[in-house]
Chains A and B, each alone.
Chain A
Amino acid sequence: MSTYRIQGDTGEWEVVIGLEVHAQITTNAKLFSGAATAFGAEPNTQVSLVDAAMPGMLPVPNGECIRQAVRTGLAINAQINKWSRFDRKNYFYADLPQGYQISQLYHPIVGEGAIEIQLDDKNPDSVKTIGVERIHVEQDAGKLMHDQHPTMSYVDLNRSGVALMEIVSRPDMGSPAEAGAYLSKLRTILRYVGSCDGNMDQGSMRADVNVSVRKPGEDLGTRTETKNVNSVRFVMAVVEQEAKRQVALIEDGGKVVQETRLYDPDRNETRSMRSKEDAHDYRYFPDPDLLPLVLDDAYIEECRASLPELPDAKRQRYETALGLSAYNAAVLTADVETARWFEVLLAETATKANKPEAEVAKQAANWLISELFGALNKLGKNLETSPVTPAAGGELLALIADGTISGSIAKQVLEKMLETGDGAGVIVEREGLKQTSDTGAIEAAIDGILAANADKVEQFRAGKEALFGFFVGQTMKAMQGKANPGVVNELLRKKLG
């Protein structure tokens, strides 16, 4: 369904993309040791004897990591393998104390699943299903530090042994946008499930991007793998650059070699890291220190029961039960924290306005998306750092809902709330911002305006209906925004008619 094409000299080219995403499992201990996993800790302070691979040390699986992998699998409707096993991937490197990484090559814990992406939030037909081949659990390596000493490299083992899920997609994506949407959606799901915090800038989520090109309808081309790409934007850039590079290469008579590449964001290009010829022979074999992982139905059901409402279901509910637009539902469910914020806001608004949630949902959604997001953005803040709590937002919205203030006054009130941290009620009271439905005062204002604009009144009566908005605006201005817009409309109609 993707219509993304690269125009080469010899015609159009299709791009085929698969992603292998490494997601750090949210847990306070490592995969096979009890060591802590705090980000940003002093080097080598989160290291147990097991992580440092001292002689005679043995791995013991951390049940929480297994549970999170199973929950993640269930969240993408994947097959959960009741029998899985850990394998050793053998290679030498200074950041790999054991000389092998414990992973799952032959029998991963999670099998086939799928993730739905939507390329255009406003177009329900832009939905596409991306297959997930497997999820397996494995250890992370440590980190080399080359800038600490003029001639030596230092090793920090804090990350050594940290639990990762490797989530391997099918080569089902056909454009940078699809790759970006898949990664975003996957991140959303992981954050909902709580199995990964999705902090790409801290390295808790990163993608290996597999790209190949072909003429439409032809067999798959040779792919390259660009490693450790750590943002949605970079993944999209890698796909674009790598596809272009491959097309140019092939059209110049060259051949794509299967190799590992690195992305350089400063130059927006990928560079060869190592080719298949000097690829390691990892000598995978079952880890004899560990027994196979055997899960029973009760355990899997317990994991399933622990799942929260997932993004697709939530979005559906927002549209059908709350009557939100497809766009608003998409925006509010894209991140679990936004959805959580919205749901508290909604509950507070409904309670304070004494109305059913469905009745105030649209208003709450619009306010959050078009008012609060904008205001926070200007302050360089986000929902997490917002000075306005969902409860305070609910108070403000309830004031609009019960007619105490108008929408435009609400904007002023929000500004004051952000400025002072005071509640909406206090501000409205203190600043005298309550909306008036006092017909006498409004009528007096209207009379003045009609008298001062006799020419326009005439034009209106001659059929220039558009001028009605002008009179409303003038009246509201004269009333300093505090007039009830309904009453203003009604009175104007009467006097102009």
Chain B
Amino acid sequence: MTDLTDLGIAAIRKGVADGEFSATEVATAFNAAVAEAQGALNAFIVTTPEKALDAAAKVDADRAAGKPLGKMAGVPIGMKDLFATHGVQTTAASKILEGFKPQYESTVSAKLWDAGAGMLGKLNLDQFAMGSSNETSAFGNVISPWRRPNDTAPLAPGGSSGGSSTAVAARIAPAATGTDTGGSIRQPAAFTGIAGIKPTYGRCSRWGVVAFASSLDQAGPMARDVTDCAIMLEVMAGFDPKDSTSLDMPVPAWSANLSGDMKGKKVGIPREYRLDGMDPDVAKSWDDGIAWLKDAGAEIVEISLPHTKYALPAYYIIAPAEASSNLARYDGVRYGLRDLPDGAGLQDMYAATRAAGFGPEVKRRIMIGTYVLSAGFYDAYYTQAQKVRALIARDFTRAFEQVDVILAPTAPSSAFALGEKSADPLEMYLNDVFSVPASLAGLPAMSVPAGLDRSGLPLGLQVIGKAFDEQGVLNAGLALEARAGFTARPEKWW
């Protein structure tokens, strides 16, 4: 029998349904893998082996009783610790929420449990999803399972869904949830050689997801391959009346309609993404992607997204602005950390609690956000950034009059070493340069593994689609996946 932890969603689901192995066996295998890796990789903030086993036992009992099985039946997954889970600590990787156990379950996680998935634990992340390397967590860095050849220097798993990418890449979870505000699903997927999709804004309910930047936050799956992403996204997506920004549209049968045939499809290559001084390996992988899609029958069209260079600055105004307001609720009054120095008044309590509870990157973004919204600066920054956002969305609208999907690199480089960029926030922010435009436009975008660079680390290719056209994105992803033949995996060193 194959090692169960090598299997992804589709394979586990099939094996459990066919009686090849039990859901309990799968959960047990992954629980063991999680426990073994936790000390070295720190992918989880809390592990919940009993939750994985309970869900598995239910699936096994249902199968024995001849009941129909859900789309995720028998699949234990990692849950990014940004999703509120009933009775299980939910922290957003921040001290300010340490010990907080919600009395509610996020819509997305509830849908996954209803579909038969089990929870291995709550995955580590950048604090409040702010970061690109998983170095801002209050619960320690996540270590990528990947290493450069003959080098033990710990590498970044990407961020903010770094626990998710590590868990999937290290085969300690077959799949995990991620959230993507400016690239937090796609960039870590690219860094660790896995697939991940951020659907159209509004596809997945934000209810019960700790907010970073409400107009950008979007949940999505991170998994071993495109098919698994399609299956899991079908479960996560759907209209939720509890989220006013939720899309009131039916969820298409993406997995059933997957096709890597790109005949008659046009693929846009945005001129502005070809930056001066681009990493030659990244440029080569992009060229490979173009060749693969041609091979799949697509026509390649050069396109222009003229406002691309303004995307990053606009993003780093809008996202912090919303964050500065969204994070005001962490005030020590009702839940989470409260730091009340002797003789302190209300203002002192706020200051002490937030000083002790938030990490430096979170504070930096709250400061930026507060600044750009303040009287006298609002128009120059926030209003201007919103105009830029509208222009970027218009760039895409025009481009999609000519093409069906857009192909670009996911990130400007492969994984960097921990500590390599954390001293310079601006350099860290530049990591989001290819992922942020689709976020600002609310478009579906995914990263699929494209190969290894010269230092033996994975590179991702990004497919951006029209609003609501996850199918087009997944299909292009499938076409790339089939031709990339990406089978590399990190050597187990933990």
A159 to B189, CA, bound (A): 45
**Given the known A-B contacts A58-B244, A289-B245, are A90 and B106 also in contact in the complex, defined by CB atoms under 8 Å?**
no
Does B103 interact with chain A (Cβ within 8 Å)? yes
Q: Which residues of B contact A59 (CB under 8 A)?
A: 244
**Given the known A-B contacts A53-B329, A56-B211, are A61 and B370 also in contact in the complex, defined by CB atoms under 8 Å?**
no
A100 to B329, CA, bound (A): 8
Does B470 interact with chain A (Cβ within 8 Å)? no
Q: Which residues of A contact B106 (CB under 8 A)?
A: 56
Interface contact B207-A57, CB-CB below 8 Å: yes
Does B322 interact with chain A (Cβ within 8 Å)? yes
Considering only CB atoms, which chain B residue lies closest to A55 in the complex?
A: B210
Q: Which residues of A contact B146 (CB under 8 A)?
A: none
Interface contact A285-B373, CB-CB below 8 Å: yes
Interface residue from A97, A281, A284, A291 paired with B244 (Cβ < 8 Å): A291
Stretch at the interface among B271-279, B331-339, B405-413, B454-462: B331-339
**Given the known A-B contacts A58-B206, A288-B214, are A99 and B329 also in contact in the complex, defined by CB atoms under 8 Å?**
yes
A86 to B327, CA, bound (A): 18
**Given the known A-B contacts A49-B104, A94-B333, are A99 and B325 also in contact in the complex, defined by CB atoms under 8 Å?**
yes
Does B84 interact with chain A (Cβ within 8 Å)? yes
A291 to B245, CA, bound (A): 6
A88 to B370, CA, bound (A): 13
Q: B332: shortest Cβ distance to chain A, in Å?
A: 10
Interface contact B103-A49, CB-CB below 8 Å: yes
Does A52 interact with chain B (Cβ within 8 Å)? yes
Does A249 interact with chain B (Cβ within 8 Å)? no
State the main secondary structure of chain A at its contact with B.
loop
From 55 to 80 in chain A, residues with beta carbon under 8 angstroms from any chain B beta carbon are 55-61
Interface contact A56-B207, CB-CB below 8 Å: yes
Does B204 interact with chain A (Cβ within 8 Å)? no
Interface contact B206-A56, CB-CB below 8 Å: yes
Interface contact A97-B333, CB-CB below 8 Å: yes
Interface contact B333-A285, CB-CB below 8 Å: no
Does A299 interact with chain B (Cβ within 8 Å)? no
Does B350 interact with chain A (Cβ within 8 Å)? yes
Interface contact A283-B214, CB-CB below 8 Å: no
Considering only CB atoms, which chain A residue lies closest to B215 in the complex?
A: A288
Interface contact A54-B335, CB-CB below 8 Å: yes
From 318 to 354 in chain B, residues with beta carbon under 8 angstroms from any chain A beta carbon are 321-322, 324-325, 327-329, 331, 333-335, 346-347, 350
Q: Which residues of A contact B321 (CB under 8 A)?
A: 285
Interface contact B104-A99, CB-CB below 8 Å: no
Interface contact B333-A55, CB-CB below 8 Å: no
Interface contact B328-A99, CB-CB below 8 Å: yes
Stretch at the interface among B19-27, B33-41, B43-51, B374-382: B374-382
A112 to B208, CA, bound (A): 39
Q: Which residues of A contact B97 (CB under 8 A)?
A: 55
Interface contact B214-A56, CB-CB below 8 Å: no
Does B297 interact with chain A (Cβ within 8 Å)? no
Interface contact B325-A55, CB-CB below 8 Å: no
**Given the known A-B contacts A57-B207, A58-B206, are A288 and B100 also in contact in the complex, defined by CB atoms under 8 Å?**
no
Does B476 interact with chain A (Cβ within 8 Å)? no
Does B90 interact with chain A (Cβ within 8 Å)? yes
Q: A178: shortest Cβ distance to chain B, in Å?
A: 33
Does A327 interact with chain B (Cβ within 8 Å)? no
Interface contact A92-B350, CB-CB below 8 Å: yes
Interface residue from B84, B215, B324, B331 paired with A55 (Cβ < 8 Å): B84
Does B490 interact with chain A (Cβ within 8 Å)? no
> How many B residues, CB 8 Å from partner?
44
Does A155 interact with chain B (Cβ within 8 Å)? yes
Does A220 interact with chain B (Cβ within 8 Å)? no
A56 to B328, CA, bound (A): 13
From 206 to 243 in chain B, residues with beta carbon under 8 angstroms from any chain A beta carbon are 206-211, 213-215, 241-243
Q: B193: shortest Cβ distance to chain A, in Å?
A: 30
Interface residue from A61, A281, A290 paired with B374 (Cβ < 8 Å): A281
Q: Which residues of B contact A53 (CB under 8 A)?
A: 329, 334
A56 to B241, CA, bound (A): 14
Interface contact B378-A285, CB-CB below 8 Å: yes
Q: Which residues of A contact B115 (CB under 8 A)?
A: none
Interface contact A283-B370, CB-CB below 8 Å: yes
Does A475 interact with chain B (Cβ within 8 Å)? no
Considering only CB atoms, which chain A residue lies closest to B329 in the complex?
A: A53
Interface contact A55-B90, CB-CB below 8 Å: yes
Does B92 interact with chain A (Cβ within 8 Å)? yes
Interface contact B334-A55, CB-CB below 8 Å: no
**Given the known A-B contacts A55-B97, A288-B213, A289-B245, are A281 and B334 also in contact in the complex, defined by CB atoms under 8 Å?**
no
Interface contact B328-A55, CB-CB below 8 Å: no
Interface contact B374-A97, CB-CB below 8 Å: no
Does A98 interact with chain B (Cβ within 8 Å)? yes
Q: Which residues of A contact B210 (CB under 8 A)?
A: 55-56
A285 to B375, CA, bound (A): 11
Considering only CB atoms, which chain B residue lies closest to A155 in the complex?
A: B333
**Given the known A-B contacts A99-B329, A100-B328, A285-B378, are A55 and B350 also in contact in the complex, defined by CB atoms under 8 Å?**
no
A281 to B371, CA, bound (A): 11
Q: Output the residue of A56, A92, A153 with the most chain B CB within 10 A.
A: A56
Does B70 interact with chain A (Cβ within 8 Å)? no
Interface contact B325-A58, CB-CB below 8 Å: no
Interface contact B382-A55, CB-CB below 8 Å: no
Considering only CB atoms, which chain A residue lies closest to B211 in the complex?
A: A56
Interface contact B84-A98, CB-CB below 8 Å: no
Q: A455: shortest Cβ distance to chain B, in Å?
A: 87
Considering only CB atoms, which chain B residue lies closest to A90 in the complex?
A: B325
Considering only CB atoms, which chain A residue lies closest to B100 in the complex?
A: A55
Interface residue from A52, A56, A290 paired with B84 (Cβ < 8 Å): A56
Q: Which residues of A contact B208 (CB under 8 A)?
A: 56-57
Q: B363: shortest Cβ distance to chain A, in Å?
A: 15
Kindly supply a per-residue 1/0 record for chain A positions 250-294, scoring 1 wherever the CB is within 8 Å of any chain B CB and 0 otherwise.
000000000000000000000000000000010111001111000
Kindly supply a per-residue 1/0 record for chain B positions 183-198, scoring 1 wherever the CB is within 8 Å of any chain A CB and 0 otherwise.
0000000000000000
Does B154 interact with chain A (Cβ within 8 Å)? no
Interface contact B335-A90, CB-CB below 8 Å: no
A99 to B354, CA, bound (A): 13
**Given the known A-B contacts A90-B325, A90-B328, A92-B328, are A56 and B333 also in contact in the complex, defined by CB atoms under 8 Å?**
no
A250 to B370, CA, bound (A): 38
Interface contact B373-A90, CB-CB below 8 Å: yes
Interface contact A100-B241, CB-CB below 8 Å: no
Interface contact A52-B328, CB-CB below 8 Å: no
Considering only CB atoms, which chain A residue lies closest to B383 in the complex?
A: A285
Interface contact B334-A61, CB-CB below 8 Å: no
Interface residue from B92, B102, B375, B382 paired with A54 (Cβ < 8 Å): B102
Interface contact B373-A94, CB-CB below 8 Å: no
Interface residue from B102, B209, B244, B331 paired with A290 (Cβ < 8 Å): B244
A99 to B374, CA, bound (A): 15
A218 to B238, CA, bound (A): 62
Q: Output the residue of A94, A97, A288 with the most chain B CB within 10 A.
A: A288
Q: A289: shortest Cβ distance to chain B, in Å?
A: 5
Q: Which residues of A contact B335 (CB under 8 A)?
A: 54
Interface contact B374-A283, CB-CB below 8 Å: yes
Considering only CB atoms, which chain B residue lies closest to A283 in the complex?
A: B373
A60 to B370, CA, bound (A): 25
Considering only CB atoms, which chain A residue lies closest to B217 in the complex?
A: A288
Interface contact A58-B243, CB-CB below 8 Å: yes
Q: Which residues of A contact B331 (CB under 8 A)?
A: 92, 94, 99
> Beyond the given A57-B207, A57-B208, A281-B375, could you list 5 further A-B residue pairs with CB under 8 A, ordered by the A residue number?
A55-B329, A60-B241, A94-B333, A153-B346, A285-B321
Complex A-B: 28 CB contacts under 8 Å: A49-B104, A52-B334, A53-B334, A54-B102, A54-B103, A54-B334, A54-B335, A55-B329, A56-B84, A56-B102, A56-B210, A56-B211, A58-B242, A92-B328, A92-B347, A92-B350, A94-B331, A99-B331, A100-B325, A153-B346, A155-B334, A283-B374, A283-B378, A285-B321, A285-B373, A288-B215, A288-B245, A291-B244
Q: Which chain A residues have a beta carbon within 8 Å of chain B's beta carbons?
A: 49, 52-61, 88, 90, 92-94, 97-100, 153, 155, 281, 283-285, 288-291
Q: Which 10 A-B pairs have the closest CB atoms?
A: A99-B328, A288-B214, A283-B373, A288-B215, A53-B329, A56-B208, A55-B210, A281-B375, A56-B84, A289-B214
